[in-house]
Copies of this chain bind each other. A is one copy, B any other.
Amino acid sequence: MQKCIKCNSVDGVIRSGFLRGKQRFFCKLCNFHFILENENARLPQKATQATIVDLAKHLGIAASTVSRALNGKADISPFTRKAVMQAAIDLDYRPNLLAQSLNKGKTNTIGVVIPNVELPFFATALASIQQVAIDTGYRIMVCHSSESEAIEKLNTETLIACRVDGLLVSHSKETTSFEHIQRVLAKSIPIVHFDRVCNEIDTPKVIHEDFKGSFDLVEHLILQGCRKIGVMLGPQKFYISQIRLEGYKAALQKYGIEVDEKYIYYSEMNKNDGTKAFEYFINLPNPPDGLFAMLSRNAIEMMVEAKKRQIKIPEDMAFVGFGDDILCELFEPSLTVFNHFPTKVGEAAINLLIENIKNKNTTSSTIQSVQGELVIRDSSFKGKS
């Protein structure tokens, strides 16, 4: 196989051990020992990436041997192993994950589809997902639907095409049809929904304590003396709108307050919808004395309006919102919220997914609810407890 560098013949050449980590040859015909010092003179030709075959040629051994050495299999002589490792360093070898994945039939990669990284909830959840992934030896591939159903579907296709081992999905606010998710299911690709889940399909989900959170916030308002409580929700079709509304109603009911449809406002969750909602509420014949917004961002927009009109917070009007972030903390007055712990949600979701990947479990439809916490701040606290 190896040509003698002296007599150019092939027939008499045999390998004769290693020297300085390199394969040594002996030509029986011309009785000559040699090492292929300048074997890598071939490299500059393709200045790109050394492959396993490059290593093999470099050492004068078989590619399969290199592979085994690299992967720490037994049945490899310490000598060869050392030589391979050294060669890998010398040639700056990096395994080609594409090839590995293609061969193994798995990528060790998890696809994540989120609607908007600019929402603090998703940014934080994403950070925690990434952390768990690193710790457990997975990679993540993040796709961003920018709240567009079309892009979300495109993203899902891309991730399937990349043969991710599993999918973590939170839907865009536009999304109304779910064939793309059905397709994932049909292909037995493990999937976990989180936060913006889809209720029409039976998948594992990680959600918040939406009912309890709403209930706690509204009960808190009532305990602070509010009796006319307005609620600002997302789109009516949203599951979380519905369930958070139920929490709201349950709290009113507990304290014998009648539900007034005029105090229920649905929005499209666009920027500044809080402003519009506030306009609506303040122009009611009998304006609320407490306002609960499904998104804390909206609660803050409402407070901005209230302050413009010199309304005293929380005395004249108290505010609470769902979900915490730094703005809620630093805005004045600081906003009372139900913190739904984005970090815990992200962690729960990826852990559940990894578990399902490992067990090849694509049928489970566990629903995990992450415990939240009422954080009372200045926007609602009137000294009563």
Contacts and interface: CB of A to CB of B under 8 A. Distances in A.
Interface stretch (A198-206, A239-247, A286-294, A324-332): A324-332
Interface string A70-109: 0000000000000000000000101111110110000100
A59 interface: no
A92 B183 CA distance: 9
B97 A162 contact: yes
Given A127-B144, A188-B47, A151 B134 contact: yes
Interface stretch (A31-39, A114-122, A212-220, A253-261): A114-122
Query: Which bracket fits the contact residues of A?
Result: 35 or more
A364 interface: no
A69 B331 CA distance: 59
A109 B157 CA distance: 15
Nearest to A99: B102
Contacts of A117: 117, 123, 126-127
Given A92-B187, A130-B146, A139-B162, 17 more contacts: A47-B187, A95-B161, A96-B102, A96-B161, A97-B158, A97-B161, A97-B163, A98-B98, A98-B162, A116-B127, A117-B117, A117-B123, A127-B146, A134-B154, A304-B330, A331-B331, A332-B332
Contacts of A160: 94
A100 B332 CA distance: 55
A48 interface: yes
A253 B58 CA distance: 62
A162 to B, nearest CB: 5
Contacts of A142: 140-142
A119 B60 CA distance: 51
15 contacts: A47-B187, A94-B161, A95-B161, A96-B102, A97-B163, A98-B102, A98-B107, A98-B162, A117-B123, A123-B123, A130-B143, A130-B146, A134-B151, A304-B330, A326-B327
Contacts of A95: 161
